[in-house]
Each structure stands twice: as C-alpha cells, then as structure tokens.
Chain A
Amino acid sequence: MRSGTVRRGDSLSSEWGKMVLAARALAVRYGVVVLMALSLGLIVLGKADVKIYDTIVRRAGDIAAPALATLKEPLSTLRDMANAMGSILALREENQRLREDNRRLLVWQAEATRLAVENDALRRSLKMPPHPGAPLWLTARVVADPGGPFVNTALIDAGADAGVQNGMAVVDDHGLVGRIVDVGARSARILMLTDLNSRIPVLIDRSHDEAVLEGTNGRQPELRFLPMNPSFKVGDQVLTSGRDGVLPQGLRIGKISEIRDQHVVVTPYVDWDRLDYVAVLVRQPLPTPEELPLPASDAAVSAPAAGVAKPVERAPTRGQSGPAARTGGRAE
C-alpha cells in the first residue's frame, strides 16, 4: 500500500515535471513571437493616445533621470577635457578674437543703453504700459537625448517639483531650444524646435515678415505659411513672434540659411552637440487690462469718470512664480 502511494506520487511528479518542461519549451519556441506581437500591440495602442501611457512615460523619466545624470558626468568631463586640449592650442587666436568681441560689445552696450532710455521716453509719451522685462528662468541639466531621425526630444532633470510646466520655453545661451511638452515630478521632456511635431510662430527681424517655423527632424527647420510677398533674405535673423500666446516674444532662434523654391531653411543658433545645461523660462501670466498700471496723468483723468476711487494695482510680480531655490535670475 505504502509503496503504491510512493509510486503514484512519483508518477504525478514526473508528469508535472513533463508539463513544466513542455511549457518551457513552448515559451522558448514561441515566447519571442508572442512578445513581438505584444510590442506591436503596444505601438498601436500608443497611437490611440491612452492616458496611462503618459503616466508611465513620466514615471520612467523620473526614475531614469538621476541614473542618466550620474552616468553622463564622467563622460561629459572626458569630452570637456578633450575640447580643452584643443582650445589650449588655439589660445592666442581666441584671446585676440575675444578682445575684438569685447570692443564691439562695448559699443553695442552704449547703443543699447541709449535706446532703452529713448524707448522708455517714447512709451511714456504714448502712455504705453512699461515693458514686462526679461522673464525669470530656472536652470536644468539635459540628461537624455536619444537623437536619431525619428524623435527630437530631450529629458531634463527638473520637473513639476521645481516649477516646470507644459508649454514653457527652453533656451540655452545661444537661442531657443524648444518647449516643454511633458512634465514629471523630477523630470520634463523638451520638444526640440527641430522635431517634426514642432510649430513655432516666428517673426523675421529685419523684414517683419511672419511665418511658422516647422521642424523636419533634421538639424534645420523650415519656414511655412509665408506671407504673399515676403521680403526676407538669406542671413536674416528669426525670432519668436509670441503669436501663439505660449512662447515669449523676441527669443532668438536662428538665421535664414537657404531659400530655394518654397523651402526657406533656418539654421538655429543652438549647438545641438553641446546641449548640457538649458534655461526653462518661467511663464508669466498675462495681466488683465484692469491689472495694468496706468500712467499717473491718465489715471487722474480716467478714474473719476469710470467711478473708480482707488488706483489699479500692478499685476502679480514675477518673483512670486517659480521656486526661489532653482530660479537662477533673468534671461538676457
């Protein structure tokens, strides 16, 4: 009796073992196919704009950002050292060039000061509200940039916790990089101005022609929706027009580098290969007409007529938005 139970138990365990082995063989044989089908299904689902995808992507960004930042540091140092070796050799020429730049910029500084005084006087005489000034910004480090021809996005190590919001403009010391399109707690994604999905309303500095800068996924975006008789030419500077109400007006983007048929190619100022640190411009809420300050003489005349007894207060100050810890100052 006892030996019979043992035998039955043995046969059961051997059958169980066979089943496990068969399942394992099936998994090895067809596992790749099943997972490939699953991957394809996920790609199709992603096209349907499922909300949980955004959450997963944000979480993944938050988790990966510190690891990428740590891994990037020694590699960036190595790259900087290699670059420094090259620049030491060209120190004499660079010094001469910087002296020349300094002389030229001093002339421009004097001119800018004169123009600012003149601009203020003209604004006062036209009773225009004062210029809002340069926006506040916070600095972030670019920790991931997959590159490649399919997406032009980058991950930065500052998110909602630092005050980053969707739609904020991102610049480096050369010009506009792009705008924030996805925000996690500790990371955010920049949609570069070269991405296929990027559309930025722009203004040509010299000719005042307006257009839309469209990304091509290459290094050089193109101008679309051009005016009927444009008067721009190669070399003209392209700035943000601020027409979308999202990006601030007057941010430098690049120069028109080529005009052929209907294609107007813009070369951005940003050095895409050295995008280590960027500034996220903290968006300022537009003041309502009631919040705008009135010139003293105008207020004295209009207030009694409108039946308003006290003067209108200023719009919320820029210093109130964005955490002070990360806020670096004003963009130049």
Chain B
Amino acid sequence: MQVVVQTLDHLARRILPFLTVAITLLFDLLPLTTLASDAVRPSLTIVAVYFWTLYRPDLLGSIVLFLLGLVADAVAGMPIGMTALMLLCIRAMVMVPQRIVLARSFLGGWLGLALVTLSVQFLRWFLACLYALHVFPIDTVLVSSVLTILCYPPVALLLGRANVEIDEKRHATGN
C-alpha cells in the first residue's frame, strides 16, 4: 500500500510542470478584466513554459508542449499550430548550454524571459500578419510582452516553490 502511495506521490510531482502550464493556459483563455486597453493581457503560459524549461526541462517535453499548444489554439480559435510553434520556440531558445548561467540568478532568469518573450511574441505577430494578410498593430504586442515580463516575479515565486517540492522528493528518494 505504501509503495502505491509513494508511486502516486512521485507521479503527481512529476506532472506538476505539466499541470501548472495547463492551468496558465486556461487562465490566459478566461474572459477576465484586461489590464490595458484593446484586450491586451500578459501571457502567463510563456512565463510557465520558460520557467520549467529553464529549471526542469526533463519534466516538460517537446511533445507535451506541442499537444498543449494545439489544444490552446483549438479552444482560442487561433490558427492551429500557432501556439504550439510559440511554445516550442521557447524551448528551442532556452535549451542552450548557456541556460545554466541564466538559471543561477533571479535577474539572469528575468532577463532571459524578457528576450524570449519579445522574440516569440514578435514571431507570433509576424505569422499572424502573414496568415491574415493584414498588418496587426505592433504596439499591443509590445504592451502584452511588457506585462508578461512584469508577471515573472510572482509567477516564478510560485513555480519556484513547486520546483522545491519536486527536488525535495528527488532527494528523499535518491533519484
């Protein structure tokens, strides 16, 4: 019985990154009050995916990101593949040897997020313009990026706590 409980506990901790990204995706889709005009909102999903790819890339694989992105696009009414591409781009940008340097300090992590957010948001804007054959206003994309970057400290604090939980379990089991 104890083994079963331990296995379930282990599983629950391993899927924690997936669960947090799924919740942020749902949160981004909810019709809540916007923080700025023209329906501009921060993207908490970018922050969550960036955080887990930086600290625990083994627990949030490419296929999971791809599938989550497809579901998000289908629910949001966006062209299928747009969010999946964005999430995979975050992973591709973060999964470099230099990420160890970023992960060492909070400020480094924050700067890295700023770079990643601006890059993927600009890529999404570019693809959306190509898809719709219409030039969307870039200022809303910039405002959304700034809001996303400002969201990093509180979200990273919460996810950092979850990361400690996973690590504690890893030390306890010796994995």
Listed in ascending order, the chain A residues whose CB lies under 8 Å from chain B are 31-33, 35-36, 38-43, 45-47, 53, 56-57, 59-61, 64, 67-68, 71-72, 75-76, 79, 142-155, 182, 189, 196, 217-219, 272-276
Contacts and interface: CB of A to CB of B under 8 A. Distances in A.
B107 interface: no
A196 B91 contact: no
Contacts, number: 152
Interface in B83-106: 84-85, 88-89, 91-92, 95
Contacts of A59: 74
Interface residues of B, number: 51
Contact of A31 (B63, B85, B128, B131): B63
B132 A56 contact: no
B84 A148 contact: no
Nearest to B95: A32
A273 B34 contact: yes
Highest count of chain A CB atoms <10 Å: which of B79, B92, B131: B79
B31 A148 contact: no
Contacts of A146: 28-29, 75-78
Contact of A273 (B26, B33, B75, B91): B33
A149 B34 contact: no
Q: Name the prevailing secondary structure of the A interface residues.
A: helix
B91 A64 contact: no
Contacts of B134: 196
Contacts of B37: 219
11 contacts: A38-B81, A43-B80, A61-B75, A71-B30, A72-B30, A72-B32, A147-B34, A149-B38, A149-B137, A218-B38, A219-B37
Given A31-B62, A32-B92, A75-B30, A151 B78 contact: yes
B144 interface: yes
